[in-house]
């Protein structure tokens, strides 16, 4: 069974540009989470989608946004990129609302570099 897949693996952008990151969850999982892992800061929760709706977001500015598609895949958009947005962006999936869904399964991440 395929795990969580993310694309692209690496992304290089310049300041002010927009970045789009993509994620496909494990089959049967309806919840998708996005995390930012910057050097020295640990995993920071960005966004949670379930059944196509944004359910919760972390303490990030509105230029971080995303969506979930009917097939439960998701994309994360980061507008007006800043140098400090350089980080590993991790997508995770789990069973959806109404289940004991504390188990997160992560993809390998997209390394975003902003120059």
Partner 1 sequence: QKEVEQDPGPLSVPEGAIVSLNCTYSNSAFQYFMWYRQYSRKGPELLMYTYSSGNKEDGRFTAQVDKSSKYISLFIRDSQPSDSATYLCAMSLGGGSEKLVFGKGTKLTVNP
- For the chain, the residue count is 115
CB neighbours (10 Å) of residue 60?
16
CB of 73 to partner 1, least distance (A): 16
Q: Among candidates 20, 35, 18, which has minimal Cα distance to 107?
A: 35
Nearer to partner 1, 78 or 92 (CB): 92
Cα gap 76→95, rounded to integer Å: 20
Q: How far is the CB of 84 from partner 1 (least distance, A)?
A: 17
Q: Are 22 and 9 contacting, i.e. CB atoms less than 8 angstroms apart?
A: no
**Tokens of residue 66, six digits:** 């995303």
97 versus 115: smaller Cβ distance to partner 1:
97
For partner 1, which stretch binds (CB under 8 A), given 12-20, 67-75, 76-84, 96-104? 96-104
| Structure tokens, 9 | 């693996």
Rounded to 5°, the CA angle 98-104-110 comes to 130
In whole angstroms, the minimum distance from the beta carbon of 14 to partner 1 comes to 23
Which of 17/108 has CB closer to partner 1? 108
Is residue 19 involved in binding partner 1 (CB under 8 A)?
A: no
Would you count residue 33 as binding partner 1 (CB under 8 A)? Answer: yes
Least distance from C-beta 60 to partner 1, angstroms? 14
Q: Is residue 21 within the footprint of partner 1 (CB under 8 A)?
A: no
């Amino acid at each position: 069974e395929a795990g969580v897949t993310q694309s692209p693996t690496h992304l290089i952008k310049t300041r002010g540009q927009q970045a789009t990151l993509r994620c496909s969850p494990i089959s049967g999982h309806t919840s998708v989470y996005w995390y930012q892992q910057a050097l020295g800061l640990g995993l920071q929760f960005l966004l949670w989608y379930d059944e196509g709706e944004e359910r919760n977001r972390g303490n990030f500015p509105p230029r971080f946004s995303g969506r979930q598609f009917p097939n439960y895949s998701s994309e994360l958009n980061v507008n007006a990129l800043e140098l400090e947005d350089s980080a590993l962006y991790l997508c995770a999936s789990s069973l959806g609302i109404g289940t004991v869904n504390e188990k997160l399964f992560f993809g390998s991440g997209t390394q975003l570099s902003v120059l």
